């Protein structure tokens, strides 16, 4: 069900309970485990919390996994996470900032490309 009306929650609860009572007549008891029982609680959570995407933990878990990879010192994991996050943000900022610039100077030790003292000394020798 993709669309739900909060006024129909009680009817939905009754439908799920009726469905389970009909299934209990036809199926063996071993069919009913925790996963079939959870549908009763999903309807209650829909009533209390709203749609699932509002309480979805996946984005938070992905962020925590990223922070977990920053841990280098197991004695102080929080400090390692903060330090790694700051390094990551700094590097991302520098990379984004440096994309706007182009190299306009040559290295001093490139005598072939740069006119100056180094090239005159190498010609005279």
The residue ranges of every structural domain in the chain are 6-55, 58-98
What confidence tens digit (pLDDT) does each residue in 88-111 have?
999 999 988 888 777 666 666 665
Locate all alpha helices (DSSP H) within 1-125, ordered by sequence: 9-26, 34-49, 58-69, 77-98, 117-124
Residue 115 clears pLDDT 60, i.e. is over it: no
pLDDT of residue 111: 57
What confidence tens digit (pLDDT) does each residue in 14-62 have?
998 898 888 888 888 788 887 777 888 888 888 887 776 667 788 889 9
Please tell me the number of Cα atoms within 13 Å of 39 on its side-chain side.
14
pLDDT of residue 27: 86
pLDDT of residue 91: 93
Q: pTM of the prediction?
A: 0.40
């Amino acid at each position: 069900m993709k669309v739900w009306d909060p006024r129909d929650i009680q009817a939905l609860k009754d439908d799920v309970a009726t469905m389970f009572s009909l299934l209990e007549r036809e199926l063996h008891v071993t069919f009913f485990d925790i996963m079939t029982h959870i549908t009763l609680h999903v309807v209650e959570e829909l009533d209390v919390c709203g749609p699932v995407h509002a309480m979805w933990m996946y984005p938070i878990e992905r962020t925590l996994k990223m922070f977990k990879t920053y841990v280098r010192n197991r004695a102080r994991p929080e400090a390692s996470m903060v330090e790694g996050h700051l390094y990551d943000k700094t590097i991302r900022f520098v990379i984004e900032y440096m994309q706007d610039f182009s190299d306009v100077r040559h290295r001093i030790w490139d005598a072939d490309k740069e006119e100056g003292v180094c090239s005159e000394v190498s010609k005279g020798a």
